[in-house]
Amino acid sequence: MAAATIAVLLGHIFPIWLGFRGGKGVATGVGVFLALVPLAVLCAGVIFLAVVGFTKYVSLASMLAAASIPLFIWLFMEPEFDPKPLLTAASVVALLIVFAHRGNIARLWSGTESRITDLKR
């Protein structure tokens, strides 16, 4: 399950048929983890909405929400299950999503990243 989770994200972010240039992996990650740990996704969704509400940066909110998934998995994992494989997969997925946003990170640092309100023009 953990390997399939990572493979799905790798396939979305680096699709062979598109020259290894795909999406950022956020929606795919939400779909995968919604099926596996819905409470963690709900909590990450609250973080996403709060960050967008305060900063208006969807990219920043996406990265912070993705980075929070391993924490919420650790907090809410059922005690009878070994959380290590899922925590590992969630950590790798979070790193992949942040890596896919490297251009956004550069724009955030330089102050040129688009905000939600900038898109209305």
pLDDT at 119: 56
CB-based burial of residue 9 (10 Å sphere; 0-12 exposed, 13-18 middle, 19+ buried)? buried
pLDDT at 66: 97
pLDDT at 23: 83
Q: For 53-88, how does the pLDDT look when each residue is reduced to its tens digit (9 = 90+)? A: 999 999 999 999 999 999 999 998 877 778 889 999
Residue 56: both structure tokens together = 């208006």
pLDDT at 19: 77
Rg (CA), the chain: 15
Flag residues of the chain having pLDDT under 70: 118-121
pTM: 0.88
pLDDT at 121: 53
pLDDT at 83: 82
pLDDT at 118: 58
Can you give the residue ranges of every domain in the chain?
A: 2-120
